[in-house]
A and B are shown apart, each in its own frame.
Chain A
């Protein structure tokens, strides 16, 4: 009796697994991308409502102890701080570029791009892929591959887009790669995602070493991202004489937990 029940469960398990794998293989096909995107857009309004409810609950609970006022003030100051930091970094980078590269390069400043504002309605369901779901999709001109940013700096890239929603791979995702340069030393490196902090591998240059507090901006190398978007601030650097590169931790300019509104750059086509 017990054995029969167990084999029935195993049979059901194998059948369901096979069905789900078949569905995965079918829904991965290019011809199914439209239907898959449409299906994924179905949950976007629910997620938006839930996100709004989460915000409301946060506000209600923070009333106790006057936390609400402090939080609002903190948010206002943080927004002002982010804007100022961005200006400082951009001015710093612009000055360097003016001196050395301005005549040679023909790129548009980040604020010169056309953008679509999108609300963050959800996040990835597990820790392996750090993604965001936004409420703008192909109907709003959002396409896979487009770059996503905020007023503070780079957020990531659109991975998948449905008619009224899109999934964005953030810099936190372990698979994300961004080529950057440092604002003061001009050293080049590559930022990769991580569960707790962004990792930066800085290429060695004779006589120049990176220091904490420098800003990392997208270098545009490889054509994946436009040049000049702020990525983060060097939190710590580990020099390795035996290696051709240094390791550093980067404090991302965007706090993923508090991201509510993002901007999708619609006129930059990654090469």
Chain B
């Protein structure tokens, strides 16, 4: 039931990303809500859980994108894995670290996505354009990250309390 709820939330997030998010473009970039959600899940539930949900969210993104199924999943997986490393030895309650993790993960996500597209023979943007988009998207996602983390923690709180041993 809990997993179904998370899957539904991710589906809604992906749908919002491909319908509403492009309306709030800044400097050519718009927020990557799926990546922000995956990082928030990884930060609160751990890297293994984060990577599993990254795969699912990535496949959902691939269903809305041009090209084969898989590149977005690989890119999100990389973001989740990096975030997992990040939060192991850092203060999980801080909002600064997840924001920085979101920015760095966005850069890695973009790098992996472009590399995967290039490997698969799909069109990739010129370097200058890509760098501009990556910087703008990293800042955008970093700003959104604390809010996403708050939301995920709030949604997760009742579930966590219920499973705690008495």
Contacts and interface: CB of A to CB of B under 8 A. Distances in A.
Interface of A: 2, 6, 8-10, 12-13, 16-17, 19-28, 36, 39-40, 42-43, 46-47, 50-51, 54, 121-129, 131, 133, 159-160, 167, 169, 173-175, 194-196, 256-257
A40 B66 CA distance: 9
B18 A21 contact: no
Contact of B69 (A39, A46, A195): A39
Q: Which 9 A-B pairs have the closest CB atoms?
A: A195-B28, A24-B70, A175-B123, A174-B125, A28-B68, A27-B68, A122-B18, A20-B73, A123-B22
5 contacts: A13-B81, A17-B74, A24-B74, A128-B110, A256-B22
Contact of B63 (A26, A42, A121, A174): A42
A159 B64 CA distance: 13
Contacts of A194: 28, 129
Interface residues of B, number: 59
Contact of B77 (A6, A17, A46, A173): A17
Nearest to B116: A24
B148 interface: no
Interface stretch (B47-55, B94-102, B151-159): B47-55
A85 B77 CA distance: 47
B79 to A, nearest CB: 11
Given A13-B51, A21-B70, A28-B120, A127 B18 contact: no
* Chain B at the A interface: SS class: helix
Contacts of B139: none
Contacts of B74: 17, 20-21, 24
Interface of B: 11, 14-20, 22-23, 25, 27-30, 32, 34, 47-48, 51-52, 55, 58, 60-61, 63-74, 77-78, 81, 84, 88, 110, 113-114, 116-117, 120-121, 123-126, 129-130, 132-133, 136-137
Given A123-B22, A195-B27, 10 more contacts: A16-B55, A24-B69, A27-B69, A40-B64, A125-B64, A129-B125, A160-B67, A167-B66, A175-B124, A195-B28
